């Protein structure tokens, strides 16, 4: 590994000094450090900052410094699948940023020596289309949320799977989630937890008017189409990708969701497994300790 990309959330406490310290450490190891444009703000360096897209095409390793939100921003980059990503949480542990800053130099020493394990995470392709208008496309790592922006009225959302009509949700909204996103907004709305290494698409209605409308898991090779029925006043309806990108919707627009062809390559902690992170983040209590010989 020669070129190391760094993407940081400088709003995190001490983030700027951490980027400087980490960059110096990597340079001493003989590595070339590439900062993205936001991370380089206010940090003097010889190398010209690049977009995350360009870093993904050049770096041998990408370090995401911040939290789950920072990694979600990285995870939406189209060609990010070619580079392994180390997610470092500058606060508490996250669901997808398992490594704390206190561990970073110990972990990086192993990673730079080629001693690391990656886990592939499924992403979603989202397409918003309307007759007579150019379609817009997005990639999401966690979820797409269709909901009202302000007025608390029911949405009427027609659901199709592979263009076969399934049902019409009368609800406050709908969450379409990946397994990685199953522990996020979908979980808060009563959705199931899927182990992140699995493949599948989760549909979780938000406060459905009909109790029979329950969360639904479908195979990853299926395509979901969502249409807003005319009965819904659409001027306040929006699609939110990973809680960070918002697009307003209008009448007759169709939102299509399917598995993205390229996955995210995430470096995982050798000392924590998925279930340990679940226990810590969801505060699952344990009455006793079990061990297996």
Which residues have a catalytic role annotated?
68
Q: Are 215 and 192 spatial neighbours (Cβ–Cβ below 8 Å)?
A: yes
Q: Are 146 and 173 spatial neighbours (Cβ–Cβ below 8 Å)?
A: yes
Nearest to 245 by CA among 122, 134, 97, 141: 141
Nearest to 174 by CA among 201, 149, 204: 204
* Phi, psi of 133, deg, nearest 5: -125, 150
Beta bridge partners of 164: 161
Nearest to 49 by CA among 65, 32, 36: 36
Q: Give the integer Cα–Cα distance in Å for 227 and 168.
A: 9
Who's near 11: CB < 8 A, 6+ residues apart? none
Q: Give the integer Cα–Cα distance in Å for 277 and 105.
A: 21
Residue 20: its H or E element: helix 15-28
Strand pairing class (224-228; 254-259) = antiparallel
Q: Are 197 and 119 spatial neighbours (Cβ–Cβ below 8 Å)?
A: yes
Q: Are 83 and 265 spatial neighbours (Cβ–Cβ below 8 Å)?
A: yes
Alpha carbon 221 to chain centroid distance? 19
Q: Give the integer Cα–Cα distance in Å for 223 and 161.
A: 6
DSSP 284: -
């Amino acid at each position: 590994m020669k070129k190391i990309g760094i993407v940081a959330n400088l709003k995190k406490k001490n983030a700027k000094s951490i980027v400087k310290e980490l960059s110096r450490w990597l340079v001493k190891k003989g590595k070339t450090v590439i900062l993205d444009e936001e991370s380089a703000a206010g940090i003097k360096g010889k190398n010209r900052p690049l977009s995350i897209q360009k870093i993904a095409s050049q770096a041998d390793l990408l370090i995401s410094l911040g939290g789950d939100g920072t990694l979600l921003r990285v995870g939406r980059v189209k060609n990010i699948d070619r580079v392994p990503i180390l997610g470092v949480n500058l606060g508490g542990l996250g669901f997808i940023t398992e490594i704390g800053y206190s561990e970073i130099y110990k972990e990086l020493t192993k990673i730079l020596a080629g001693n690391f394990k990656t886990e592939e995470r499924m992403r979603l392709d989202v397409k918003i289309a309307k007759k007579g208008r150019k379609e817009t496309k997005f990639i999401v790592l966690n979820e797409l949320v269709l909901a009202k922006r302000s007025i608390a009225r029911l949405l009427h959302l027609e659901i199709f799977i592979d263009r076969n009509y399934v049902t019409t949700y009368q609800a406050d909204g709908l969450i379409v989630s990946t397994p990685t996103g199953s522990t996020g907004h979908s979980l808060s709305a009563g959705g199931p937890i899927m182990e992140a290494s699995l493949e599948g698409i989760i549909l979780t209605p938000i406060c459905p008017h009909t109790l029979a409308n329950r969360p639904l898991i479908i195979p990853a090779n299926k395509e979901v189409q969502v249409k807003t029925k005319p009965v819904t006043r659409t001027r306040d309806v929006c699609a939110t990708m990973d809680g960070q990108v918002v697009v307003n919707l209008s009448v007759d627009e169709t939102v299509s969701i399917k598995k993205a062809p390229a996955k995210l390559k995430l470096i995982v902690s050798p000392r924590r497994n998925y279930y340990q992170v679940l226990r810590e983040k969801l505060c699952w209590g344990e009455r006793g300790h079990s061990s297996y010989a």
